Amino acid sequence: MKPTNRKHGPMTTAIHGGETPDPTTGASAPPIHMSSTFVSEDVAGFSAHDLEDGGDGFIYSRWGNPTVSLLEQKIAALQGAEDCLCLASGMAAATAIFLTFLSAGDHVVVSDVSYAGVAELARETLPRLGIEVTLVDMSDLDAVNAAIRPTTRLVHTETPVNPIMRLTDLKAVSALVHAAGALHSCDATFASPLGMDAAGLGVDLVMHSITKYIGGHGDAVGGAVAGRADLIAAMRKEAAIHHGGVLSPFNAWLIARGAATLPLRMRAHQDGAAAVARWLETHPAVTRVMYPGLPSHPQHDLAARQMTNFSGMMSFQVGSAENGRAFARRMIDRLEVIHYAVSLGHHRSLIFWMETAPLMETSFRLEGKQLKSYEDYAGEGIFRLSVGLEDAEDLIADLEAALD
């Protein structure tokens, strides 16, 4: 599926999107504009409301900065969206969506499993602000439909979902959300902009932790939301100018430099992950592997229909939680290539043990049918593995030594 406004192929877009040779020096590589303020040629207003008049040119780096703007245009082009806003972290991007489009008395439907920070924000912060939250298994379309109310303003999905790799049918959810006149936001961090044409599947606001695949090198934290220009303008005013969690130009430059090779990296992540996932499936200590690219994934048909790249993200189980903890200890002691660390989407492979029971207490608090669906995907716990760009044989040898 071709994203709606991507003019060139993905490699050309990743390299040239948002970039022009520097007009003053002719530099082919973009400079970093480490300037907090910009000399003005007009007698202009100094309020977020002035953005409504078009707001071209740069005023102050909390409004916009040329290096951050370059990254925003690159991500918008890669995502096939009209515009993009970059912020200081993926969490700042999620918060920006919720606090721009929701007010006290509004209702939001949020995936019952999501990145833990988003899960805690939805369960703790939003209700404190008078926003009503319903948590739903987004793979259950009847449950999504039943959760939507006349006051629902937003439905927030995440696919593949961190950490259990369950998928959401974005086209089907978008149809339900739009029939109710609400907005659909989706955290597409695990897929990257190239793993799924989320905008083409009807998602109004596509969110990424750009700390992950888009930056790709584990050296900068950032977040992005791509979507329709009017929605992004509203977020810039609220979240960037008023809440102030803007991305630094230096981080934007690092992330844009990483983003230039995103299509190449995503292909390599997918190839490496497929090899590792197939090997894990044959290992006697491994009881289950969840990788959307494997035919054994319970939603492989949806993955094949919806995803254009299965990325490097997977989870696997080793039986009981006790086994998991023991193997985690061995990984910390024995792994030579893979880092035992949180985060994902970097060129370095990363692995982390995520046990179901403690996560239920801290982040997800699921019961009944929703807990059962979580356990169907994650058992008593999973290793979340982000396959990097190292040689697959080396990753397999490393895992073999730890699982021995």
Ligand X SMILES: Cc1ncc(COP(=O)(O)O)c(C=O)c1O
Q: Say if residues 282 and 316 touch (Cβ distance below 8 Å).
A: no
3-state secondary structure 337-384: CCEECCCCCCCCCEEEEEEHHHHHHHHHCCCHHHHHHHHHHHCCEEEE
Nearest distance, CB of residue 187 and ligand X, angstroms: 5
Nearer to ligand X, 91 or 148 (CB): 91
Nearer to ligand X, 13 or 211 (CB): 211
Residue 377 near ligand X by CB under 6 A: no
From the list 73-81, 182-190, 293-301, 324-332, the region that binds ligand X by CB under 6 A is: 182-190
From the list 186-194, 227-235, 241-249, 332-340, the region that binds ligand X by CB under 6 A is: 186-194
Handedness of CA 241, 245, 248, 252 (dihedral sign): negative
Residue 215 near ligand X by CB under 6 A: no
Residue 245 near ligand X by CB under 6 A: no
Q: Say if residues 96 and 156 touch (Cβ distance below 8 Å).
A: no
The one among 58, 63, 101, 115 contacting ligand X by CB under 6 A:
115
Cα–Cα distance between 265 and 345 in angstroms, integer? 10
Q: How far is CA 75 from CA 42, 60, 269, 325, in A?
A: 30, 22, 19, 38
- State phi, psi for 193 to the nearest 5 degrees: -65, -20
Residue 117 near ligand X by CB under 6 A: yes
**Number of neighbours of residue 228 by Cβ within 10 angstroms:** 15
On the question of a cis peptide bond just before residue 292, with omega within 30 degrees of 0, the verdict is no
Nearest distance, CB of residue 238 and ligand X, angstroms: 18
Residue 162 near ligand X by CB under 6 A: yes
Q: Do the strands 107-111 and 132-136 form a parallel or antiparallel pair, or are they unpaired?
A: parallel
The one among 30, 90, 227, 249 contacting ligand X by CB under 6 A:
90
Q: Where are the alpha helices (DSSP H) in 38-140?
A: 66-79, 90-101, 116-120, 126-128
Give the 3-state secondary structure of residue 382: strand
The one among 209, 248, 317, 356 contacting ligand X by CB under 6 A:
209
Residue 91 near ligand X by CB under 6 A: yes
The one among 61, 79, 95, 189 contacting ligand X by CB under 6 A:
189
Residue, CB closest to ligand X: 90
Nearer to ligand X, 51 or 81 (CB): 81
Binding mask 338-367 for ligand X (x = CB under 6 A): -----x------------------------
Cα–Cα distance between 167 and 147 in angstroms, integer? 18
Residue 221 near ligand X by CB under 6 A: yes
Nearest distance, CB of residue 20 and ligand X, angstroms: 28
The one among 223, 258, 292, 381 contacting ligand X by CB under 6 A:
223
Q: Do the strands 288-290 and 313-317 form a parallel or antiparallel pair, or are they unpaired?
A: antiparallel
Cα–Cα distance between 61 and 91 in angstroms, integer? 20
Residues 297-336 that bind ligand X (CB under 6 A): none
Hunting for tokens 């983003």 — which residue is that?
Answer: 259
Residue 106 near ligand X by CB under 6 A: no
Per CB under 6 A, residues contacting ligand X are 89-91, 115, 117, 158, 162, 187, 189-190, 209, 211, 221, 223, 343
